[in-house]
Structure 1
Amino acid sequence: MVILFFKIKKIKNKLEIIATHDKLITEIYNRLEMNKRLIEEIERAKRYKTPLSIIYFDIDYFKKINDTYGHEKGDFVLKEISKLIKENIRKTDIFGRWGGEEFLIILPSTKAKEAVKISEKLRKIIQEHNFDGLNVTISFGIAELKENDDNISIVNRADRALYKAKEKGRNIVVYIK
């Protein structure tokens, strides 16, 4: 009976990882888990009246990478960017894949000004990294939690900022209040 309990527990743990992570490519949180975490962090920030910012970013010209070099190279870029970001954010930050080549970083106890600094650091790290012969850049949109925000409104604002970054030429950080 004890052995069966531990086998079930092990299977349950594996299923939890499969359900919450982009296990196939990046091994970071998936959108479902990121949305859950964002809701939790918004509730925490509002309850304790602490700041919260998010960084929403995507890979510039990612479709061109896939079309020119193939999906294997595209997957390599996704994995490498995920690894670089994980290595260069704080342990308290929450990082995951939002979809396709889009990513989200939740920054608890962080004002937008600091989120911009973090994004600039990450932007430079990616820009200077050699992706097996490819130069890759990313564009960033920043949003800070407002009193009446929920998970949808803050992501929408960060998405608008990301869109502005794309309009302004890519490989930049944009914050919209």
Structure 2
Amino acid sequence: MVSLLSLDPQTMLIMIVVSSFLQAGVLIALDLVANQYKGISIYMLAAIAYALGMGVALSPLTGDSEILQFLGNLLLIVSKVLIALSVREFLGKRTNLDLWGLTLAPLVFIQYYYIFFDGNYIARNIGLLLINVGISLILIKSVIQAKTHGFLLTSRLMLAVFGVDILFSLIRGLLLLDGESTRAIDASLANNFSWLILFFIDLLRNSFFVLMVSQRMYSELKEISEIDFLSQVFNRGALIARLEMLLKRQKIYPLSLILLDIDHFKKINDTYGHDVGDLTLKTIVELLKSQLQPWDLIGRWGGEEFLIVLSRCSASEVGDRAESMRRIVEKTEILYGTTPDHQLHCRVSLGVVTANSRSMNLDKLIKQADLALYQAKENGRNRVEYSVVS
């Protein structure tokens, strides 16, 4: 407590204001390089409003000027609302602007009343703190409900910051009740504690937001590099990497590979056009995915070939599953036009290899599956051929 009281509030206020403007500059740069995401431009505006608000509200020059006090508090309220809107936009949440506008109006009026009419420093600051708590609760709920699989770690760090912000608001509210603070620059426990914690909260919130954007960008770029654009399954390189990881695990055996080829696919392209060929690929992929378990893998091996990886699946089980895949493709009508006669049927050939232990490397397993697929084509297509590696 003694160390907090010994801090110079004016120095801390200058530190907060300078830091806020520097962070606003970083967020402006972020908006220039990552503006493909919704919410970043709004967050940048929020950072600017916050920096200006802190500069006005906490400046010694403001003094007893009611207009500057109101302007500073107004900018801080606007910045908090913009932060909430920006984070929700970034997380893909719908925002009712009319509702936020109706909420903002009475908050601004409260500040106006306690600055121009009542002059109660504690009351208007507690009003700001209540706004902060409410917005932080909304943000916590938004992050928890959002799909953040690509930036899970940083979203959880943001949750922690919002939680600390709520705790800070409650503690500051209690400290203000001692009545020692009548201005932002007063050397009181409430002010010294607040400006010190506020500096770190502001820094961490903005830093984690930048990291959250960066992690999302990395996740999406990684996904783009691993996913085949047309079929939306793993490309060959990504599938090989995951299969090599699987082969190192003892508990995934027996391990089965299914190399699948669409019969006479070139004829479909030549007869109906490449757009129908693309539709055929997409349709078959969806059919195959419907036959897979969450832990199974599928990737486009090349052209009209797909490689399916089934772990913990015996030779007898994989036979039934491969036959099921063949039948569902054969029975499905692929509609490529607006009339009933605009439909086609296609068939697939499948080569299956099952390894019961870590006895063969990846290249040999794929070669065995390729030989089985070749045998299926030689024996008339639209069939499954098997190879078991003991």
Specify if TM > 0.5: yes
Query: Any gaps of 5 or more consecutive residues in structure 1?
Result: none
SS of aligned partner of 1:176 = strand
The one-character-per-residue Cα deviations of 1:106-165 (angstroms, maximum 9, x if unpaired) are 111112221111010010000000011111000000001254311111010000000000
Q: Percent identity?
A: 37
Q: Does 1:134 align with 2:344?
A: yes
Q: How many residues align?
A: 174
* Matching of residues 14-33 of structure 1 within 5 Å: 14-22=220-228, 24-33=229-238
Please, which of 236, 254, 265 is the counterpart of residue 51 of structure 1?
254
* Matching of residues 1-177 of structure 1 within 5 Å: 1-22=207-228, 24-44=229-249, 47-48=250-251, 50-132=253-335, 133-145=343-355, 147-177=358-388
Larger radius of gyration: 2
Shift of 1:176: 2.1
Letter in structure 1 aligned against 2:241: K
SS of aligned partner of 1:96 = strand
Aligned counterparts of 1:18 and 1:120: Cα–Cα separation in 2 = 32
Shift of 1:49: 7.3
- Using a 3 Å threshold, how does the CA distance of structure 1 residues 171 and 10 change in structure 2: closer, same or farther? same
Letter in structure 1 aligned against 2:318: A
Shift of 1:37: 1.4
- Using a 3 Å threshold, how does the CA distance of structure 1 residues 126 and 49 change in structure 2: closer, same or farther? closer
Aligned counterparts of 1:147 and 1:82: Cα–Cα separation in 2 = 29
Larger strand proportion of the pair? 1
Aligned CA-pair RMSD: 1.3
Q: 2:252–2:311: 8 Å Cα contact kept in structure 1? A: no
SS of aligned partner of 1:149 = coil
Larger helix proportion of the pair? 2
Aligned counterparts of 1:157 and 1:79: Cα–Cα separation in 2 = 26
Letter in structure 2 aligned against 1:152: D
TM-score, normalization: structure 1?
0.94
Q: After the TM superposition, which segments of 4 or more aligned residues of structure 1 sit over 2 Å from their partners?
A: 47-50
- Using a 3 Å threshold, how does the CA distance of structure 1 residues 63 and 33 change in structure 2: closer, same or farther? same
Higher relative CO (CA 8 A, sep ≥ 6), structure 1 or 2?
1
Query: Any gaps of 5 or more consecutive residues in structure 2?
Result: 1-206, 336-342
TM-score, normalization: structure 2?
0.43
Aligned counterparts of 2:212 and 2:253: Cα–Cα separation in 1 = 40
Aligned counterparts of 1:86 and 1:147: Cα–Cα separation in 2 = 26
